[in-house]
Amino acid sequence: MKIVSVVALFSVLMLALASLAGAAPAQKLQTFGTGEVSVVGASATIVLSDANQYGGVYLNSKSQGGKTLNQVTFGFISHRDVQGGAPRFSLPIDDPATAVKGDGFAFIDASNCGAPVGPGTATQKAATENPNCKVVYGNQSFANWATFADANPTLITTPGAIPFIIADGTAGTYAVSDIVLR
C-alpha cells in the first residue's frame, strides 16, 4: 500500500515537472546601466541622478531578430520625464546586403511621438504601431515605423541582437509601462 502511494506521488510529481517544462518560461525584464533601474512586471522606472548616467531594460529574447521591419512590434508608454531621445527604443537593424552583422540602430523616443520635453506626468505611447512616432535610422528620419518599413523592405532586425529601452543624457525619472519587446 505504501509503495503504491509513493509511486502515485512520484507520478504526480513527474506530471507537475513535465507541465512546468512545457510551459513557456516567464519573461522578466532585465536591467542595465549606471542609474537606478527598477522593474515591476512590464513596467520600469529609470532614475538618473546626473547627465552622465544611463539605464534601461531589455528582455533576454532574440525572438524578434531576423524579421523584416513590417513583421515586428515594439512599444512602451512613457509616464514621467521626457528629454530629446529619452526614453527611447534602440532597435538593432541589419542590412543583409552588407557583410557586417548589424548595420545600425533604429530609434523611437517619446519626444518624437509627441511627448512634451521636460519633467512631467504626461503619458505618451512610443511604438512601432503609433503612426505619430518618428523613426530615426542613421542620418535618416521617417514619419513612422510603417513608412520606415515601406522604404526599406530588405532591412531586417539584426539576428541574435537584443532590442532595448534606454534613458540617458539628462538627470530625471523616466517611467515606462506596457513594454512590448518581443
Does position 94 bind Ca ion by CB under 5 A? yes
At closest approach, how far in Å is the CB of 159 from Ca ion?
Answer: 10
C-alpha cell at 76: 512602451
Distance CA 58, CA 174 (A): 15
Q: CB nearest Ca ion: which residue?
A: 98
Does position 95 bind Ca ion by CB under 5 A? yes
Stretch of 25-33, 63-71, 98-106, 151-159 lying at the interface with Ca ion (CB under 5 A) = 98-106
Q: Taking CB under 5 A as the criterion, which residues in 101-160 touch Ca ion?
A: 103
* Residue among 3, 40, 50, 98 that touches Ca ion (CB under 5 A): 98
Is residue 108 within 8 Å of 89, Cβ to Cβ? yes
Q: 173: how many CB neighbours lie within 10 A of its CB? A: 16
Helix %, strand %, coil % of the chain (to 5): 20, 40, 45
What is the binding site for Ca ion (CB under 5 A)? 94-95, 98, 100, 103
